Structure 1
Amino acid sequence: MSGSFIAPLATVLGASESGTRLLLSLLSGYPLALLYRSSLLYNQPPAVKHVYFIMTGLLQCWFNFGTDVYHSMFNITFIYILLRVAGGTKFSAVFAFFFNLTYLVVGYYYEVVSGKEYNISWTMPHCVLTLRLTAVAFDLYDGHKTPIPPAYKETALTKAPSLLELFGQCYFFGGFLVGPQYSMRRYMNFVNGEYSDPKTKGPPNTVMPALERFLLGIAYIGAYQAVYIFVSDEFLQSEAFQERGLLLKCVLLIIWGKTCLHKYIGSWLLTEGAIIFCGLSYNNLDENKQPLWDGCTNVRVKLLETGCTLQHAIRSFNCNTNLWMAQYIFKRLRFLGNKLVSQAVTLFYLAIWHGQDTGYFINFFLEFIYTMCERQIASTVERIGPLRQFFGIPALQPVLFVVKKIYSTFLLSFALVGFSLLQYSKWNGVYASLHYVGFVIPALLLSACTFLQFMFPSKSEHNGVTSSSPSKSQTSQKSD
């Protein structure tokens, strides 16, 4: 029955049927949040709220993926049994980590062998579920440590969640389909009314911040649909693109890359608006004693649009996934004794978590190289006095901003080619038409930095002193 109106609507929107289903599901978060805020549900016991979130989440899942809903149901039930039997042990945390990832990867494999082209399938929300269930196992393990490490006090669990609590957290309509990640502790505080209006004990006054994110989300998705008609994935692989000159192709790639990000940003903003409307995103008070509602922010729009470095882009994009990777993988790899290796392992996990296609791995490999290159450039400029003085000239700052913005946007767009086209024959064809310039630029810059650092050694090197401590590493990663 749903197909009778989905196909015509998809044609009008210029989107796929699966994409239209997803958009409708994200928009449904607002009436569902409005119903939750009503007197019918808001002041009900937590068990009633869990049931509401489970029912609505399952309906969203069925609407998008049909009978494939059983994958999430099975995975949640299995982890619940694991936590009941061995929760709080190191074994349970490690086993949950590998079981969840294995289930997801096997799902990817069967999607490929079934001959399906890339599309929105049950593996998309299962990405989110994989991290959520893994986090619960680690949070329970952290909660059984004595004392609880300070870095994990806000998320640690002292007892295993009930089956109703675990299903409610996983199927909450504000975060089941595309995220963001939020801890079980945050979810329990939410259903227990700790984020309610302190005066009325009713729903918090979040209408305006929710509306702001909603409108931003609509604007980004609209911009994506408008530009993608002219600069699409197919266009990058077309003869019309191949025949352009290198400079024009680089300009078109920047436009394509910015547009490509808009669909993810728009989806996250729509989801965040529904979460804010419910009240889950409470994040303490600001300096004016006003509540902040950015606890579930997945994209920092202002930093993304006004930043001019790769680090700015990484810190502003897919924020909650980045924080998850930092807390549950990067920080727990301290035993390796090298931050650079820890970052490489984290990025490898991030790649395989997205899928088995080579495009994901080249995307995150390039991100690793690009961020390392950016750090080397900053280090070289800082240690060489004339360069530091030149790049510090106030009148030069607007020009530097534009140059850095173009440079960082181009490299991010270049890496995104692999992320979007996925298959080697497709992304390598685009890279070849660009003469692999996204590989050549960092190679030349790293070589230049190495030469300059050799020619202008630091004072400690002059004195024969070297440092054995590892260099600082970026702990947050980019996604989808």
Structure 2
Amino acid sequence: MLPYINAPFAYVANALGASTDELKLIFSFLLSYPLAAVLKRIPDRAPWQKNLFIIGVSLFYLIGLFDLWDGIRTLLWSSAGAYAIAAYIDSPFMPWIAFVFIMGHMSINHIQRQIINDPGVVDITGAQMVLVMKLTAFCWNVHDGRLPESELSDFQKERAIRELPGFLDYAGYVLFFPSLFAGPAFDYVDYRHYISTTMFQLPPGTDPSKAPPTRKKRKIPRSGTPASWKAAFGLLWLVAFLQFSGWYYTDFLLGDEYMKYNLFRRIWILHMLGVTTRMKYYAVWTLTEGACILSGIGYNGIDPKTGRAKWDRLQNVRPLAIETAQNTRDYLGNWNINTNHWLRNYVYLRVTPKGKKPGFRASLATFVTSAFWHGFYPGYYMAFVLASLLQTIAKNGRRLLRPFFLTPDGASPTPKKRYYDIFTILVTQLAFSFTVVPFIFLGFANSWLVWLRVYCYCLIGVAICLGCIFSPVKQKLQMQLKKRNRGKIEEVIKEEQEKERVQNAPTLGLPDDPEAEMEEIVAEVKKEMEARKRRGGSVSFDIRKAVEEKLSKR
């Protein structure tokens, strides 16, 4: 640690009653903005200088700011081990060997952190969790680069590494400072395209006049405005967290005062504790995303509708979508987005033999990986098991109940559909307010105590719903639905469901529900058909082709 650097943080921490390390972590997020602006201004023709700058800043964070010498060794062992495995093991099992090594190394640190059990101290596990996603993806990309293109999917072709990077490029990728401590993670190919500026080339056939504006012949587009908005929103979330955490905190729910309120007030406080806890993550992920945008790596091409540059390549969370989620898919799918992508592309689809459909084995492997990646606190596993049951219930509920609030052909909502939407939003939010309790409290005893204090309302609801699913109630609802005319669209749903199952991302280790998305797409196609009828036009277009086009745009 640099001399005297800790003194101002310790002084402010004592005044605010906060943790010194947490203040330094926030400072590193904010400092990444001006440093990202400097990185962006290093000449495009000198990527080695950019790599050195990235490495130097990360070393300052790890050693000069946090004195994490052990952390440096941890990151070195993981990254050097992964590189050596990728370089010297030419085998189909290479990515799995690397996976076991990297995950095993992180598990040791998780256990050590759990033994110390000091949440106010910043250690290396956060950065190592981000690095695990990077390194396991890197080894799979190297493996794909050794295979013929005919054996690869489009995604694998885009990410395949045909030649191992040099040590400087690899170190820059591993230690990319805007996302060092909290993510977001990204693949090496994205970093290579960024550092070489090929990421910013216009697609073939694009009018050069539509290129996003740059400064002084720099290839990286101007990104100060979108980065500033992210910084502003991140700070707003941080201020909101500091304010709300004084009202809703864990000790209050464990104390006697909490039980003086009636059940509905206790459930409201429970819900607001979850919202308050999420605010911290909204703040961190929004701030780090803004620094990535300012550096340029958040660039994601040109929006075909607006003609402006898109900066959502590394978006990791959508707060509004989570807080108003109508189903488990929306809730989990908009949380920790890059982790969901990693689970889908490098676990869920990789454990499935070529030519086979992902099944129970893929789901189980993804679930276990996600759980181990988070750590070994009992709360994680309590939340995962309950969330998996919620997703099963939500999937069946949507299939069995939602069609009754649509017209018989499924094309339009009925007047009562708004009540269904309000009900599902309320149920989803209340269910996850209960489910995330173990994620917040981590320990079994405290989590179970809080559940008991709200009479385990979610567990009772889950038991009732599962009872209905495995009872004649389900068959009766299915018979009612069969009477409703769904036409040729029904055939498209059945044929496309399995294909969509492979393409959809698991959410935090829980396989997604492709049928729900298919029903939404099919409803859109039917609306288009009805619109053509009203205009007096032809409706003899290829339904299957229309559905596939909408799938490709999602």
TM-score greater than 0.5 by the shorter chain: yes
Deviates more, 1:112-121 or 1:317-326: 112-121
Q: Which residue of 2 aligns with 1:106?
A: 108
Q: Deviations over 1:57-94 (max 9, x none)?
A: 121122235222221122112222222212x6323211
| 1:477, distance to aligned residue in structure 2 (A) | 2.0
Check the 8 A contact 2:159/2:187 in 1, yes or no.
Answer: yes
Unpaired runs of 5+ residues, structure 2, are 201-211, 484-493, 510-554
Quote the residue 1:52 is aligned against: 53
1:385–1:271 distance in 2 versus 1, CA, 3 Å: closer
Does the 8 Å CA contact 2:213/2:222 hold for their aligned counterparts? no
What is the match of residue 326 of structure 2?
Answer: 308
Partner of 1:82: 85
TM-score, structure 2 as length reference = 0.79
Q: How high is the TM-score relative to the length of structure 1?
A: 0.90
1:207 aligns with 2:224: yes
Alignment correspondent of 1:131 = 133
Following TM superposition, by how much is the alpha carbon of 1:99 offset from its aligned partner in structure 2, in angstroms?
0.4
- Superposed, which structure 2 residues align to 1:188-207 within 5 Å? 188-196=192-200, 200-207=217-224
Deviations 1:423-477 (A, max 9, x none): 1111111112122212111221232344422224449999xxxx99979596332
Instruction: Answer whether contact 1:285 1:292 (CA < 8 A) is retained.
Output: yes
Alignment CA distance shift 1:245-1:191 (3 Å) = same
Name which of structure 1's ranges 374-383 and 270-279 shifts more when overlaid on structure 2: 374-383
Identical counterparts, % of pairs = 21
Q: Residue 144 of structure 1 corresponds to which residue in structure 2?
A: 146
8 Å contact from structure 1 (residues 344, 368) kept in 2: no
Q: Which amino acid aligns with 2:9?
A: I
The runs of 5 or more residues in structure 1 that have no matched partner are none
Distance 1:357 1:151, change over 3 A: same
Matched, 1:23 2:21: no
The answer on whether the counterparts of 2:285 and 2:317 sit within 8 Å (CA) in structure 1 is yes
Higher RCO (Cα < 8 Å, 6 or more apart): 1
After superposition, residues 40-439 of structure 1 pair within 5 angstroms as 41-62=42-63, 63-64=65-66, 66-68=68-70, 69-86=72-89, 89-114=91-116, 116=118, 119-147=121-149, 148-196=152-200, 200-287=217-304, 288-335=306-353, 338-382=358-402, 394-439=414-459
What is the DSSP-based 3-state SS (H/G/I as helix, E as strand, rest coil) of the residue aligned with 1:154?
helix
Larger radius of gyration between Structure 1 and Structure 2 = 2
CA drift of 1:14 comes to 4.8
- Secondary structure at the aligned position of 1:31 is classed as helix
1:7 paired with 2:10, answer: yes
Cα distance change of structure 1 residues 394 and 12 upon mapping to structure 2, 3 Å threshold = farther
- Pick which of 248-257 and 41-50 moved more: 41-50
Report if the CA contact (8 A) 1:253-1:410 is conserved: no
User: What letter is aligned with 1:228?
Assistant: S
Question: Residue 441 of structure 1 is aligned with which of 456, 461, 464?
Answer: 461
Q: C-alpha separation between the residues in 1 aligned to 2:199 and 2:15?
A: 40
Partner SS, residue 349 of structure 1: helix
* Contact 1:352 1:361 (C-alpha < 8 Å) held by counterparts: no
Residue type at the aligned position of 2:174: C
Residues 247, 137 of structure 1: CA spacing in aligned structure 2 closer, same or farther, 3 A cutoff?
same
Work out the number of aligned pairs and report it: 472
Name the CA distance, whole Å, in 2 between partners of 1:337 and 1:243: 52
What SS does structure 2 have at the residue aligned with 1:145? coil
Shift of 1:337: 5.0
Letter in 1 for 2:292: I
Q: CA deviation at 1:277?
A: 0.5
> Which position in structure 1 is the counterpart of 2:505?
475
Gap change, CA 1:460 and 1:317, over 3 Å in 2: closer
Mapped contact 1:54–1:172 kept (Cα < 8 A): yes
2:278 and 2:104 mapped to 1: Cα distance?
28
Letter in structure 1 aligned against 2:10? A
Letter in 2 for 1:313: Y
Deviation at 1:8, TM superposition (A): 2.3
**1:150–1:55 CA distance, 2 compared to 1 (3 A):** same
Aligned twin of 2:530: none
Q: Distance in 2 between the 1:37 and 1:410 partners?
A: 44
Shift of 1:340: 4.7
**How far apart, CA to CA, are the structure 1 residues paired with 2:408 and 2:278?**
33
Give the distance between the partners of 1:198 and 1:226, measured in 2 at CA: 39
Letter of the structure 1 residue corresponding to residue 142 of structure 2: L
For 2:462 and 2:408, the matched residues in 1 are separated by: 21
Q: Is the Cα contact below 8 Å between 2:274 and 2:433 reproduced in 1?
A: yes
Mapped partners of 1:185, 1:477: distance in 2: 24
